[in-house]
Amino acid sequence: MGIKSITVNYDDGRQITLDTDLKTTSIKRPIKQIKDGAKVNGLRVEILLAFDIAHTIFSSYGVDTVMTEGTGGTHGKASLHYVGLAIDLRTRDLTPTQQLEARDKLAIALGAQYDVILESDHIHIEFQPK
């Protein structure tokens, strides 16, 4: 009996597991992912930049950054999704408190040219310079 391994979670999302001989047994790092079926053709570089920045924030919670929709799906008629300037990101791997925090951090990191909206099961980001 006793402890067989120790897992250390770093602020940047790395999760490193050591066995009792302090040998590294695994290193897990959050990744960017596109949900199977999400439409990505026509996504513009302005919103891909936001996906990249969002990953630094999601990673800090140790979770993957999953794009659940890009240019597909059903949205309002004037939705920026259809012109490649909006994405949705999965929030179910975050606690409700982390979801609110992540939204606020994203809004600060992306600045006034982007809108960040926390919906029931995702964070919607759109590029909409005023």
Please report how close the Cβ of residue 73 comes to Zn ion at its closest, in angstroms. 7
Q: Name the token pair of 116.
A: 């960040």
Q: Residues in contact with Zn ion, total (CB under 5 A)?
A: 2
Stretch that binds Zn ion, among 16-24, 93-101, 107-115, 121-129 (CB under 5 A): 121-129
Query: Under the criterion CB under 5 A, does residue 88 sit at the interface with Zn ion?
Result: yes
Query: Under the criterion CB under 5 A, does residue 90 sit at the interface with Zn ion?
Result: no
* Residue 15 · residue 9 · CB < 8 Å: yes
Q: What b/e readout covers 27-58, taking b as 16+ CB neighbours within 10 angstroms?
A: eeebeeebeeebeeeebeeebbebbebbbebb
Please report how close the Cβ of residue 1 comes to Zn ion at its closest, in angstroms. 50
**Separate counts of helices (H) and strands (E) for the chain:** 2, 8
Stretch that binds Zn ion, among 2-10, 12-20, 60-68, 120-128 (CB under 5 A): 120-128
Contact residues toward Zn ion (CB under 5 A) are: 88, 124
